[in-house]
């Protein structure tokens, strides 16, 4: 048990150091469609020891993924299309649907 805690603490420190250097713990971060959320940007707690989080924003999928380096069982994924503010914003699914409806009506001479 103590060895596992030591391993998790070392992992957490590695994730924090990567964030300080501008590196990402995620292999899919490309700075274009997927952006890093370094440990320094996320505050929270998971269980008794989980305090180091890292994440990424995927602009194509419209998701935010957050993982805990101290507690590998913890992960959180937020679907921005399901958040009303983002869904209705330009480029969101509700805004696209409204635009499609508008164009369809305009094409029929109803607009």
Reported as a single tens digit per residue, the pLDDT across 21-56 is: 989 988 889 989 999 999 999 999 998 889 999 999
Mean pLDDT of 7-31: 90
Query: Which helix (H) or strand (E) is 66 found in, with range?
Result: strand 63-68
Higher pLDDT pick, 80 / 109? 80
Q: Does 102 reside within a domain?
A: no
> What's the pLDDT tens digit per position in 48-93?
889 999 999 999 999 999 999 999 899 999 999 888 887 777 777 7
Is 50 exceeded by the pLDDT of residue 111? no
CA dist., res. 69 & res. 104, Å (int): 48
Q: Does 106 reside within a domain?
A: no
pTM check: above 0.85: no
Q: Does 92 reside within a domain?
A: no
User: Do residues 85 and 95 make contact, with C-beta atoms less than 8 angstroms apart?
Assistant: no
Q: Does 53 reside within a domain?
A: yes
Q: Does 41 reside within a domain?
A: yes
**Domain tally for the chain?**
1
What is the span of the domain harbouring residue 40? Answer: 2-80
Residue 43 CB partners (closer than 8 Å, separation 6+): 53
Q: Say what the pLDDT of residue 95 is.
A: 73
Q: Does 17 reside within a domain?
A: yes
Q: Does 11 reside within a domain?
A: yes
> CB pairs under 8 A, 24+ apart, for 97-105?
none
Q: Does 95 reside within a domain?
A: no
User: Do residues 39 and 13 make contact, with C-beta atoms less than 8 angstroms apart?
Assistant: no
Is 60 exceeded by the pLDDT of residue 109? no
**71: how many CB neighbours lie within 10 A of its CB?**
19
């Amino acid at each position: 048990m103590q060895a596992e805690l030591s391993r998790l603490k070392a992992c957490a420190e590695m994730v924090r150091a990567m964030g300080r250097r501008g590196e990402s713990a995620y292999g899919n971060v490309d700075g274009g469609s997927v952006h890093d959320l370094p440990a320094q940007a996320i505050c929270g707690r998971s269980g008794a020891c989980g305090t180091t989080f890292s994440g990424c924003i995927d602009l194509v999928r419209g998701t935010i993924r957050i993982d805990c380096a101290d507690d590998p069982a913890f992960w959180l994924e937020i679907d921005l299309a399901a958040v009303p503010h983002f869904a209705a914003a330009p480029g969101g699914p509700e805004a696209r649907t409204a635009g499609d409806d508008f164009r369809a009506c305009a094409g029929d001479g109803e607009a």
